[in-house]
Amino acid sequence: MPTIVTAVFTPKEGAKQSLIEAFEATIPAVHAEPGCELYSIHDAEDGTITMIEKWTTREQLDAHGRGQAVAALGAAAGPYLQQPAVVTFMTPLPAGTAEQGAL
Amino acid sequence: MPTIVTAVFTPKEGAKQSLIEAFEATIPAVHAEPGCELYSIHDAEDGTITMIEKWTTREQLDAHGRGQAVAALGAAAGPYLQQPAVVTFMTPLPAGTAEQGAL
């Protein structure tokens, strides 16, 4: 069963675009990590940048969390954040069709 | 550009399984709606049920919000919720590879 993650980042006032650029610079390295099926950012109407991730195994997600790309991302994004990211780990509950019922 | 939605549902104490079953009963009808590319639920470590959705157009998402399936879902899930759902609409910011950088 894959692990899904949401991470909600609240930018400082006026820093949303800089935050997006920090993510864009780091995302290719994350996409190259083992088990990374989805690592995507979104411009949310609540003013945050919301990341949605899918990792093949929890072990690979944990390795990602200890890796260089996350450290680089934290260093690049940190100055633009108003507060620490809110990160939530979750397990899929597939329902309905296979295509629509799970990431 | 599709619209992505997260909806975070906080169950009353002891009601998580009933809430999941209410979703499972309604999800097939939502999957049959025009523009529904993804409508998926997750058992989150923060104790919530987190829904992640993808709709082909904002107009189709809005029609979904006015439709029978959402009304049925609200009626079925309402008794099990500790507070109103926290719903966030967002626009993808594709980055990195096409497969990994966007839902």
Query: CA–CA separation, B97 vs A40, rounded Å?
Result: 10
Q: pLDDT tens digits, residue range B48-95?
A: 999 999 999 999 999 999 999 999 999 999 999 999 999 999 999 999
Q: Residue B95 and residue A27: Cβ atoms within 8 Å? A: yes
Q: Residue B101 and residue A31: Cβ atoms within 8 Å? A: yes
Q: Residue A95 and residue B40: Cβ atoms within 8 Å? A: yes
Per-residue confidence (pLDDT) for residue B97, from 0 to 100: 98
Q: Any residues with CB less than 8 A from the CB of A59 and at least 6 apart, and which?
A: A35
Q: How far is B102 from chain A (nearest CA, A)?
A: 5
Query: CA–CA separation, B61 vs B66, rounded Å?
Result: 9
With a pLDDT cut of 70, the percent of chain A lying above it is 100
B31 closest CA partner among B50, B1, B53, B48: B53
With a pLDDT cut of 90, the percent of chain A lying above it is 99
Per-residue confidence (pLDDT) for residue B42, from 0 to 100: 98
Give the 3-state DSSP-derived string for B22-73, with helices as H, strands as E and coil as C: HHHHHHHHHHCCCCEEEEEEEEECCCCEEEEEEECCHHHHHHHHCCHHHHHH
- Mean pLDDT value of segment B13-41: 97
- Chain B CA closest to residue A26: B96
Per-residue confidence (pLDDT) for residue B43, from 0 to 100: 98
Q: Residue B31 and residue A97: Cβ atoms within 8 Å? A: yes
- Mean pLDDT value of segment A8-15: 98
- CB of B81 within 8 A of CB of B63? no
Tokens 């626009």, residue located: B91
Per-residue confidence (pLDDT) for residue A35, from 0 to 100: 98
- Mean pLDDT value of segment B31-45: 98
Q: Any residues with CB less than 8 A from the CB of A98 and at least 6 apart, and which?
A: none
- Say what the ipTM of the complex is: 0.96
